[in-house]
Amino acid sequence: MVDNIPFLSVIIPVYNAERHIGDAVRSILCECYISLEIIAVDDGSTDNSAEILKSFSEVTYYKQANSGPAAARNLGVRMSKGDFILFLDADDLFPAGKIRQQLSYFEQRPEIEIVMGKSQFFFEDGSSKTVFRFPDETYQVLNVLLGSGLYRRSVFDKVGLFEESLQFSEDFDWFNRVRELGIPILVTDDIALYYRRHDTNMTHSMDLVKLKTIQMLKRSLDRRREEGEVRELPKLSEFKS
């Protein structure tokens, strides 16, 4: 750790990601941020992901029995030491300058606990551009993708970790809990994640995405009903400043 520079933890859940994991790690290293740890949690991969990860001296490697991305991220959070936490899926990339840019917002706005940016989609392996509705042909979206954010560690003390019973949309469920608790968020127009679409994405089916979205909204509504306060949750765009 370096004095007066926030120590960061980047957590990567990994499952059979040999095609992309090297690029993901290199996109973090290219940030050249000197006070940082990279934690990769191998969720029972059966390909060469482990060998690739172990070839990076900068990566701390853990392996667990296949339990899903929520469990992998939770283990990463528990093992991390950072004052701030970032997430990167094994097939995505950090854009140049992401870390320092997002840290600068915390310096300007110390009351903020989460900074979110836009995600830039890119496509390979014949992945369809018509699965999602994009606002324009830049394929830039504001969405609840964990990799587009930077999080104070204290957020997880307030909100808790990811729901491990969920194999999909655990990130959407977590963000709903953030909004239910009124956690201060700053949303910017910066590109904060390169999100790769390919033939093996977990959310390859749009029907599955829609189904899980509805299920996570119902989970949130049920929680609010239990608290006796059924109010509409703010949209991410409402956190822009």
pLDDT in tens, 19-34: 999 999 999 999 999 9
* In-domain check, residue 55: yes
Q: What's the pLDDT score for residue 214? A: 73
pLDDT, position 3:
62
CA distance 158 to 161: 9
Its domain, for residue 190, covers 8-239
* DSSP code, position 17: -
Per the structure, the count of domains in the chain is 1
What token pair was written down for 40? 């990769």
CB 52 within 8 A of CB 61: no
Residue 3 within a domain: no
In this structure, is residue 124 part of a structural domain?
Answer: yes
Q: With a threshold of 0.75, does the pTM exceed it?
A: yes
Give dist(CA 179, CA 139) in Å, integer: 25
Examine the pLDDT at 6 and tell me if it is beyond 80: yes
Indicate which CATH number applies to the domain containing 164: 3.90.550.10
121, part of any domain: yes
pLDDT for 133: 64
> In the predicted model, what is the mean pLDDT of residues 70-99?
98
Residue 144 lies in a domain: yes
Q: How far is CA 171 from CA 28, 70, 158, 163, in A?
A: 21, 8, 16, 9
Q: What is the pLDDT of residues 162-172, one digit of tens each?
A: 999 887 888 98
Residues 116-136 have a mean pLDDT of 73
Q: Is the pLDDT of residue 1 over 70?
A: no
Average pLDDT taken over every residue of the chain:
88
Q: Could you read off the pLDDT of 183-200 as tens digits, one per residue? A: 999 999 999 999 998 666
The pLDDT score that the predictor gives to residue 144 is 82
Alpha helices by DSSP H, 149-229: 154-159, 170-180, 206-226
Residue 201: per-residue pLDDT: 53
With a pLDDT cut of 70, the percent of the chain lying above it is 86
Domain assignment present for residue 2? The answer is: no
Q: What is the mean pLDDT of residues 132-161?
A: 86
Report if residue 171 sits inside a domain. yes
With contact defined as beta carbons under 8 Å apart, do 93 and 169 qualify? no
- 31 within domain boundaries: yes
Type of residue found at 103? L
Better pLDDT: 218 or 80: 80
